[in-house]
């Protein structure tokens, strides 16, 4: 499935690197986290189709992440990757909403086959609507990335643009820095990332939102960006 983003939450660096490399070899885009707190933040706010989740994590364990997803992103596709093969763990993970449970160690072929199978099954699952109304009266569905304007016309956001808009909206008017976006939306280390691509995504997002006057997506010089979703009082 081209342009499909998969989030990997795994604390073992070697296993995480192997999983990410296998997914990217298979044509998928990836986000990654090495512990539970950052992983949960990405799992709730990032835009992705499938989560590969370890159970034993520092910060927040995999079961608690699954519980939060069940409440906040029902229907999210999840595959558990775990060395814990006890029946109780498998039953608990599946009952919390996981679509599959893969035992470690596993081969690259098995992992990609399981990923493809879950994506095939869940692409037929009707996604929950996550619609927000913006200050200009337009509506955006953060599940599909579709913006509908008051005149009935629409625009479609890319995965990255949708994830960026979701994060800015969830910040509820707070100024969000470049480093924060790179770390929490794209899963990159800002200290090791030198890129102007974020500025291009901001520009494209403004264009698709028809925010020519920058009344919604405001640049805060030297600090980052702030999104005003509600009309000024």
β 217-220/224-227 pair status: antiparallel
Closest CA to 57 of 38, 79, 35: 35
176: which residues sit within 8 A by CB, 6+ positions away? 167, 168, 224, 225, 226
- Span 150-195, pLDDT tens digits: 999 999 998 889 989 988 988 878 899 988 888 777 777 777 666 6
138 and 118, same domain (yes or no): no
- Span 106-154, pLDDT tens digits: 899 999 999 999 998 876 555 555 788 998 899 999 888 899 999 999 9
118 and 87, same domain (yes or no): yes
CATH number at residue 101: 3.40.50.2300
Count up the domains in the chain and report the number.
2
**What residues does 54 pair with on adjacent strands?**
81
210 and 112, same domain (yes or no): no
94 and 142, same domain (yes or no): no
Is 170 contained in some domain? yes
192 and 105, same domain (yes or no): no
- Span 4-33, pLDDT tens digits: 899 999 999 999 999 999 999 999 989 999
Distance CA 198, CA 181 (A): 9
- Within a 13 Å sphere around the CA of 28, how many CA atoms are in the beta-carbon half? 24
137 and 163, same domain (yes or no): yes
């Amino acid at each position: 499935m081209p342009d499909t983003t998969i989030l990997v939450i795994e604390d073992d660096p070697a296993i995480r690197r192997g999983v990410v490399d296998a997914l990217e070899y298979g044509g998928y885009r990836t986000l990654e986290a090495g512990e539970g707190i950052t992983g949960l933040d990405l799992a709730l706010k990032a835009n992705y189709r499938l989560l590969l989740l370890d159970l034993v994590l520092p910060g927040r364990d995999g079961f608690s992440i699954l519980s939060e997803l069940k409440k906040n992103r029902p229907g999210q596709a999840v595959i558990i990757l775990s060395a814990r093969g006890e029946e109780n763990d498998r039953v608990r993970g599946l009952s919390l909403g996981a679509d599959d449970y893969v035992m470690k160690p596993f081969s690259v072929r098995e992992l990609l086959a399981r990923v493809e199978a879950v994506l095939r099954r869940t692409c037929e699952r009707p996604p929950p609507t996550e619609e927000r109304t913006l200050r200009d009266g337009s509506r955006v569905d953060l599940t599909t990335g579709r913006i509908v304007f008051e005149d009935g016309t629409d625009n479609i956001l890319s995965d990255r643009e949708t994830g960026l808009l979701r994060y800015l909206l969830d910040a509820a008017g707070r100024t969000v820095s470049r480093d924060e976006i790179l770390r929490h939306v794209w899963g990159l280390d800002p200290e090791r990332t030198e890129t102007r691509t974020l500025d291009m995504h901001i520009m494209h997002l403004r264009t698709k939102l028809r925010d020519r006057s920058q009344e919604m997506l405001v640049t805060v010089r030297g600090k980052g960006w702030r999104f005003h979703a509600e009309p000024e009082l």
